[in-house]
Amino acid sequence: MLILIDQSLAIGNPIYARDANWGKVTLDTSMSLTRAEIAAMRLSYSEVPLVDLPDDPFEAFATWLHEAHTNPIIVEANAMVLSTVDHEGSITSRTVLLKDVSEHGFTFFTSYTSRKGRAIHSQPHVSLLFPWYAMERQISINGIAEQVTREESEKYFAQRPWASKIGAWASRQSDFLESREVLEDRWKSAAAKWPEGTSVPTPPEWGGYRVFPLSIEFWQGRYSRLHDRIRYERANALAEWEINRYYP
Ligand SMILES: Cc1cc2nc3c(=O)[nH]c(=O)nc-3n(C[C@H](O)[C@H](O)[C@H](O)COP(=O)(O)O)c2cc1C
């Protein structure tokens, strides 16, 4: 395995990487992209205009999610990038899976004691991004995350496959892990405690967050970089949605 560490400054020069023993190696440029090749990577986007979006952003979201889900090229259409800010102002992003959506918001499940859980605890403003590049589309959402009810978390946890439930007990998500063996031992212990076929309780720190949206932006790639951006925005939960168009 090679880990990319450095790109030389001059366009066209090779890219360096570290091998498994942390030795510096020069990648064969025929098997890797030069900086000039990376700079030249571009697609011309389609002629599909962003028109006729409904007044209700959740309805628009449902249509786009359905189109992404039924598109054979899109993998995990419900995967979204969640960005959080911690108490020191440091931003982190990671992928989570959308598991529910309603007019109350966008729900995912995780560990409340994870890095993201700790960040949300101190700063509930988050962003969600659905990057459907193969469809020249993205949806970006800004909103406020809050924990769902315990009942809702338990209901979803019960639907998960047994191995995933055991995995949730085995993981202390985001904590330092000494070795892979420690994790596998924890999994085996949890599996011995709740063998397949028995009822696995929901870990106390595991549950859902619902992101209540204050803005939802739909982006559609268009010709000549004249992309369409339509943003639904509201000042607070009681305000009506405003629909605005922005420069690409
Ligand atoms: C496709 C995909 C889906 C994921 N879904 C989830 C998820 O639903 N919940 C979750 O906690 N982590 C999920 N992860 C793992 C997270 O990206 C992340 O590594 C983990 O939650 C720890 O993040 P944190 O340390 O910033 O809290 C997913 C990763 C990928 C690549």
139 and 17 belong to one structural domain: no
In the chain, the number of structural domains is 2
- Does 241 map to a domain? yes
Ligand 1 centre and the CA of 234: distance in Å? 29
Per-residue tokens: 37: 């090749």
**Does any domain span residue 225?**
yes
Task: State the Cα–Cα distance between residues 233 and 248, nearest whole angstrom.
Answer: 17
- This prediction's pTM: 0.85
pLDDT of 9 over the 50 cut: no
Residue 115 annotated among the catalytic residues of the structure = no
- pLDDT, the chain, mean: 90
CATH of the domain at 237: 2.30.110.10
Residue 7 has pLDDT above 80, yes or no: no
Write the burial class of residue 20 (CB in 10 Å: 0-12 exposed, 13-18 middle, 19+ buried): exposed
Q: Is the CB of 81 under 6 A from ligand 1?
A: no
Average pLDDT rounded to a whole number, residues 148-156? 98
Query: pLDDT tens digits, residue range 122-150?
Result: 999 999 999 999 999 999 999 999 999 99
Is 36 in contact with 12 (CB distance < 8 Å)? Answer: yes
pLDDT at 10 > cutoff 60: no
Which atom of ligand 1 is the closest one to the Cα of 115?
27
Q: Other CB atoms closer than 10 Å to residue 36's CB: what's the count?
A: 11
Are 121 and 25 part of one and the same domain? no
Q: 173-210, pLDDT tens digit by residue?
A: 999 999 999 999 999 999 999 999 999 999 999 999 99
Rounded to the nearest 5 degrees, what angle is found at the Cα of 100, between the Cα atoms of 190 and 241?
Answer: 150
| pLDDT tens per residue across span 227-245 | 899 999 999 989 999 999 9
Distance CA 153, CA 80 (A): 19
For residue 94, give the ligand 1 atom closest to its CA: 17
User: Residue 78 is part of which domain span?
Assistant: 57-150+204-245
